[in-house]
Structure 1
Amino acid sequence: MTEFTVTLTQEKAADYWGENNRLTFDKAGATIHLAETRDPLRVIQQAARKLDSLNIPAATLGGDWTKEQQWAFAMSFTRARNPAAINWADTEDKADLERDYAAMLFTRQLVNDTPEDLSPENLARRAGNWIKELGGDHVSIEMTVGEDLQKAGWIGIYNVGRGSVRPPVMLEVDYNPSGSDSAPVDAVLVGKGITFDSGGYSIKSSEGMLDMKCDMGGAATVTGALGLAIMKGTNKRIKLILCCAENLISGHAYKLGDVLTYKNGVTVEVVNTDAEGRLVLADGLMRATETGAPLIIDAATLTGAAVVAMGSDYHAVFSMDEDARNKMLASAAAEGERFWPLPLEQWHKDRCPSAFADTANSRPQKGGGGGGASNAAGFLARFVNPDGTGWVHLDLAAAYHGNGSAEMPVGASAAGVKSIARMVMDH
């Protein structure tokens, strides 16, 4: 079969292609026209979406492409179902692009999988097995499952997941290239792994529930980031903690009005069972803090408030550590990914008050009320060191697209994988 080649040009398309047309075709394939544009990457993305809609089995990037241009094409050209192959341009960035793309494909495929196939245990196994394939003997894996979570004191994951017949899991992966048990942990990545979110007794609407297979997007993103860091040859000891559960309704499900007592003594009144992500992340953050790592990054599709603020274009960044926040933003800028800071202060810890516990897990109003994303971050701040030093919280508003756009396909984006990998490698 003849290769379908996609090339770039700074020339305008001929008039007969239509005014301001950016994509033309010939016997060899297609040409993307970048003349007179202030946003060439966006033009490339839009052209890639049009090409992807043709169900081309493979695209070869011919001629002169920068690394950023090739990545913009790949992000938009790779559809959720039966994605087409990409043959990279013959440049010095080819090997790097192949590693980035492998991490992107793993992350997207995991998020796009059906909730029936991706139980909490299956999510944990697949994530752990992939890291093991990449890291070999440098990787050790521990899974705490079901009732053992309660015995170990991980009551957030346990209570959110106990309504399902498929048990909740805390996965801990240790990538330790030195091989020494005494080697310090350089960074910990914590991911929200809610494999399906019905909302529990604070049940979502049908349309609001449709895309909730993506609620483990944080777990997939940090797993993809660790895998990418390993592929890039990091020599740092990095731990991965995934907080995995299905948030379902049953006679054994947790309820509104319950009070949970965490290992660090913090008591939490459940005022919204659909604010479950922060309940499971609290366990992961406490475990991460126990390691003494100077850098902790958690990632989660946590709040609708972040989506309202950011749309589906940016991830929200929260930290009480200005240096850590700035390094996260710099890492994202270096990778060409869109991250944006939202406010987090000490007093955000008290923005979800309770008469029955130290804090509630939300505010008893739609969407958690104003400032919901910052209030959720404030809740999480109770489970790291008191000053929040070295901790970055990412609310992944751009992790999943329920509807396609002119630039992005339907489904998982894997946005953030490259930035998190860079952050843990450079910190």
Structure 2
Amino acid sequence: MEVNVAIADIVRFEAGALIVGVFEGEERPEGDTARVDEALGGAISQLIGAGEIKGKLNQVTVIHSLGKLPAVRVAVVGLGKKADITAEKLRGVMAQACRGLRSRGAGTVAGTALGAGTAAIDWAKSTQAMTEGSLLGLYAFRKHITKEPDNGEIRQLTIVDTDAGKLVSLEDGLRLGRILARATNMARDMVNEPANYMTPTDMANAAVEVSRTFGLELAVLEREQALELGMGAFLGVAQGSRQPPKFLVLRYNGRSSAENDIALVGKGITFDSGGISIKPSEGMGDMKGDMAGGASVMAALSAIAELKPRINVMAVIAATENLPGGTALKPGDVLKSMSGRTIEIISTDAEGRLTLADAIAYARKQGAKNIVDVATLTGAMRIALGDICSGAFTNNQELVNKVIAAGSDAGERIWQMPMYDEYREQNKSDVADIKNTGGRYAGAITAAQFLAEFAGDTPWVHLDIAGTNMTEKERGYLVKGATGIPVRTLVNLVLALG
């Protein structure tokens, strides 16, 4: 869908549908909604008086104009209480409204800047939220479906205002919203792909395309190069698969210095069977999404390259499958990581942290001043926080505060988890420097403590997105399947640091 802004009169705008807003508790429409109501002969006011339009958040009432407006229909959306309006709520409202209008065959839609002028929302923020909400809420992954959708697609959304003085703000919000939504949907596409269409080689090809499109530097390290660098943990996971592993390094240079301001490290397990410690067959197909962290950092860097902040950013993805082949890693094996630390393998299904150990070590060797890793790391994280919050773990409170704030701005909730030293005891090994799982209890924390060993004293945040990377049902602008979390958080973080 194409999203635009225009200086125009909503009452005279020709479209398949208009979107206007009503706050909860309003006795009569206000602003542009009042003008649309007048053109409709007071239909909106009558429905408010009858109690059919209440203004409750996400309520959508569709009124046919019957020739009283150039637009065929009007969707009146509930914005909730005016004092509580946020950009995140606007995203959900737009997603709900656009899906409803798509089902009614509206090919073009126009709307005013919802909520603009309230305490929390200016015109740029409204336009950004409306753009993100519509593009994310209308997302569908249909690449492998041959049947045409039952309903057509909304081809164009136009956000309009009569005041030419607001055009720059509208355009700024549109640009940022469009870039963030594109990047998020890119990550969704990658995660939704079946594992036979998203092998490590396919992931490397995606990185090539991203580097060419957005002007990024790219290095693809093959197995032999990883071996030369001593990446025994990463290659240990890869040895059970016939698919060659790929270690991907993307760079955005926003300033002339050679310093590496921040590294975004993403888990890139393109299919996780559990290896010799094989997973139950039920739900194993979902393990195609175990590379969501890698997809997130790649997509985030594409958006960062478009926005051009004055900061240097590196994305690192150790891409491989985890399969139980005849040469596969075994419980009881000992691996030597790039950092020099040795690791006892307790479970081959705790493989993501092995690949991340070498990826984090590589980022440190490249001089990263800050590291944020993103991974679908533990089922324990999903048990702890469900699919509402991602878990954050850190060795640096200042950095994690910035990550959480960036997530809040994006509407991607993050909850900080404890990192007490006592948890490290669970990872102690009798035969190596560390073991790769600390047992059943506090599994998300002990996994983070494992990674902390490789982050050292570099400011570091680990985001466990095991619960938030996928959703089983539609919720606001999240649609069933991959969510694209935390792409927008990562972009916001880099913009704040830059």
Task: State how far apart, in whole Å, the 2-side matches of 1:269 and 1:209 are.
Answer: 25
Of 156-165 and 373-382, more deviation after overlay is shown by: 156-165
- Partner of residue 140, structure 2: 79
Secondary structure class of the residue paired with 2:495:
helix
Code of the residue aligned with 2:111 in structure 1: it is G
Stretches of structure 2 lacking an aligned partner (at least 5 in a row): 1-13, 28-46, 65-72, 115-125, 144-152, 161-169
Say if 1:288 and 1:5 are closer, same or farther in 2 by CA, change over 3 A. Answer: same
Task: State how far apart, in whole Å, the 1-side matches of 2:62 and 2:342 are.
Answer: 63
Say if 1:325 and 1:199 are closer, same or farther in 2 by CA, change over 3 A. Answer: same
Give the number of aligned pairs. Answer: 416
Task: State how far apart, in whole Å, the 2-side matches of 1:142 and 1:341 are.
Answer: 33
Say if 1:212 and 1:2 are closer, same or farther in 2 by CA, change over 3 A. Answer: same
Report the Cα offset of residue 76 of structure 1: 3.0
Instruction: Tell me which of 211, 231, 241 is aligned to 2:286.
Output: 211
Task: State how far apart, in whole Å, the 1-side matches of 2:133 and 2:205 are.
Answer: 31
- Partner of residue 274, structure 1: 349
Report the Cα offset of residue 25 of structure 1: 1.3
Report the Cα offset of residue 46 of structure 1: 7.2
Instruction: Tell me which of 75, 84, 89 is aligned to 1:30.
Output: 75
Instruction: Tell me which of 178, 192, 214 is aligned to 1:98.
Output: 178
Task: State how far apart, in whole Å, the 1-side matches of 2:350 and 2:389 are.
Answer: 21
Is 1:164 the counterpart of 2:241? The answer is yes
Instruction: Tell me which of 406, 411, 414 is aligned to 2:484.
Output: 414
Secondary structure class of the residue paired with 1:31:
strand
Say if 1:190 and 1:271 are closer, same or farther in 2 by CA, change over 3 A. Answer: same
Task: State how far apart, in whole Å, the 2-side matches of 1:401 and 1:251 are.
Answer: 31
- Partner of residue 391, structure 1: 460
Root mean square deviation, CA, Å: 2.7
What pairs with 1:52-91 in structure 2 (closer than 5 Å)?
54=103, 58=107, 60-65=109-114, 66=126, 67-81=128-142, 85=155, 87-90=157-160, 91=170
- Partner of residue 322, structure 1: 397
- Partner of residue 141, structure 1: 218
TM-score (norm 2): 0.76
- Partner of residue 403, structure 1: 472
Report the Cα offset of residue 298 of structure 1: 0.8
Secondary structure class of the residue paired with 1:171:
strand
Task: State how far apart, in whole Å, the 2-side matches of 1:398 and 1:294 are.
Answer: 28
Report the Cα offset of residue 362 of structure 1: 0.7
Say if 1:269 and 1:134 are closer, same or farther in 2 by CA, change over 3 A. Answer: same
Say if 1:230 and 1:206 are closer, same or farther in 2 by CA, change over 3 A. Answer: same
Of 96-105 and 74-83, more deviation after overlay is shown by: 74-83
Say if 1:52 and 1:208 are closer, same or farther in 2 by CA, change over 3 A. Answer: farther
Code of the residue aligned with 2:292 in structure 1: it is G
Task: State how far apart, in whole Å, the 2-side matches of 1:354 and 1:53 are.
Answer: 57
Say if 1:56 and 1:225 are closer, same or farther in 2 by CA, change over 3 A. Answer: farther
Deviations 1:22-61 (A, max 9, x none): 1111332532223458574486277358528838575635
Q: Is the 8 A contact 1:191 1:219 kept in 2?
A: yes
Q: Is the 8 A contact 2:266 2:294 kept in 1?
A: yes
Deviations 1:134-157 (A, max 9, x none): 12xxx3221122344233311122
Code of the residue aligned with 1:89 in structure 2: it is I
Secondary structure class of the residue paired with 1:351:
helix
Code of the residue aligned with 1:396 in structure 2: it is I
Deviations 1:338-373 (A, max 9, x none): 11111123443332232221221113xxxx412111
Task: State how far apart, in whole Å, the 2-side matches of 1:338 and 1:242 are.
Answer: 24
Report the Cα offset of residue 115 of structure 1: 0.6
Secondary structure class of the residue paired with 1:206:
coil
TM-score (norm 1): 0.88
Overall identity of the aligned pairs, in %: 32
Say if 1:395 and 1:49 are closer, same or farther in 2 by CA, change over 3 A. Answer: farther
Of 346-355 and 114-123, more deviation after overlay is shown by: 346-355
Task: State how far apart, in whole Å, the 2-side matches of 1:326 and 1:380 are.
Answer: 19
- Partner of residue 47, structure 1: 96
Code of the residue aligned with 2:138 in structure 1: it is F
Q: Which has the higher contact order (CA 8 A, sep 6+)?
A: 1
Is 1:372 the counterpart of 2:450? The answer is no
Q: Is the 8 A contact 1:51 1:77 kept in 2?
A: no
Instruction: Tell me which of 218, 221, 242 is aligned to 2:296.
Output: 221
Task: State how far apart, in whole Å, the 2-side matches of 1:354 and 1:274 are.
Answer: 17
Q: Is the 8 A contact 2:293 2:375 kept in 1?
A: yes
Report the Cα offset of residue 130 of structure 1: 0.8
Stretches of structure 1 lacking an aligned partner (at least 5 in a row): none
